[in-house]
Amino acid sequence: MTISSFIKKLWNNIKAMFTKFPGDLQNAVNTAVTITENLKKVIESPAIDILTAIIPGNLDDNLKIALRAAIPKILVNLKLSQKFEDDESSDKVLLNAVTALNKIDGQLKSAYLHNISVLVAQITADGKLTWGDGVFIVEWYYQKKFKKNN
């Protein structure tokens, strides 16, 4: 078996697994990839309210609140920013993270963005998505669904 046929078989297996996921998990992966792609856009041209710019507007309000609280924590835990203790801490964390991501090139930047997607997918899926499943599903979704539609 060649490497390319192995990878094709792997992608097909991930696709089969993804289509069997409940709709809420499929939506969680889509939301996570969308947020990460929006973060990439902000990195390229920073916005005033980064959280508003990266969280899709069609999400449930409770989920938006949860993501507004969780995303800065994810960025701090990934060491892309330090933690702040004031009222504008989320904005400062995001601005620091955008600055840090702008300084990272190539595969390392992709690795950070992929980790952000998986962690956001786990939050969006309300704990129903494991890290291991998320790693493969988010990558497959990004490569095979998201990039084709955008």
**Structure token pair of residue 116:** 């952000």
Half-sphere exposure of 40 toward its Cβ, with a 13 Å CA cutoff?
A: 16
Q: Kindly report whether the global pTM for this prediction surpasses the value 0.85.
A: no
- Chain segment 103-131, per-residue pLDDT in tens: 999 999 999 999 999 999 999 998 889 99
Alpha-carbon distance 51 to 69, whole Å? 10
- Chain segment 7-56, per-residue pLDDT in tens: 888 888 888 888 888 888 888 999 999 999 888 888 777 656 778 888 88
Type of residue numbered 85 = E
Measured distance between the N- and C-terminal CA atoms of the chain, rounded to whole angstroms: 33
Alpha-carbon distance 150 to 38, whole Å? 12
Phi, psi of 48 (to 5 degrees): -70, -60
pLDDT at residue 86 above 90? no
Looking at residue 33, what is its pLDDT? 92
Contact 93, 83 (CB under 8 A): yes
Looking at residue 46, what is its pLDDT? 61
